[in-house]
Amino acid sequence: MVGGRDIGLFVGGFTMTATWVGGGYINGTAEYVYLPGCGLAWAQAPFGYALSLVVAFSLPNPCVHAGYVTMLDPFQQLYGKRMGGLLFIPALMGEIFWSAAILSALGATLSVIVDININMSVVISAMIAIFYTLVGGLYSVAYTDVVQLFCIFLGLWISVPFAMSNPAVSDISCFSQGRNLPVALAGDD
């Protein structure tokens, strides 16, 4: 179904990682860790993703041998078609909301870089993704994920000097010593 199950470990690992560690994940985690009252307690996604990655890498052989196409197939086989249909609803809603988060993050990034309306940038981002999927199929999506991960890795490292030289960023040692708290956090005692 996905490239005739012939994508390979390297591209498969990159496409699975890029599916999870996309713009929605990076922007959302950074936003909630930064918000007053949230902090690192709201960054549970890395731990959940790491656990699911371990599970995901342990399942391919049994699932391929059993002929499963989706993760709902074993549940449908065990509990019946009605339960499979019921379990499909939260999976569908999760995919819809995750797609919206990714398109929103991509649109926000494109909006800042090209300086266009965010609604227009989300529509343009969606049209580009639909176009390359229609032209190249799921192989184009997989190889785009590889390029995406390299761009995320490189882009985050390029942004570090700009973030550190921004006047809104303070010395991190003030948190360990309990002094010189930034103005935004000083009132949150």
Could you read off the pLDDT of 143-170 as tens digits, one per residue?
888 888 888 889 889 988 888 888 877 6
Q: Is this prediction's pTM over 0.85?
A: no
Question: How high is the pLDDT of residue 1?
Answer: 47
Enclosing domain of residue 52: 3-186
Residue-wise pLDDT for 78-126, tens only, equals: 898 898 889 899 889 988 987 887 788 888 888 888 888 989 999 998 8
Mean pLDDT over each residue of the chain, to the nearest integer: 77
What value does the CA radius of gyration of the chain take, rounded to a whole number of Å? Answer: 20
Q: Is 60 exceeded by the pLDDT of residue 54?
A: yes
Question: How high is the pLDDT of residue 23?
Answer: 63
Give the CA count within 13 Å in the CB-facing half-sphere of 161: 2
Q: How many domains does the chain have?
A: 1
User: Which of 10, 24, 21, 187 lies closest to 107, judged by CA?
Assistant: 24
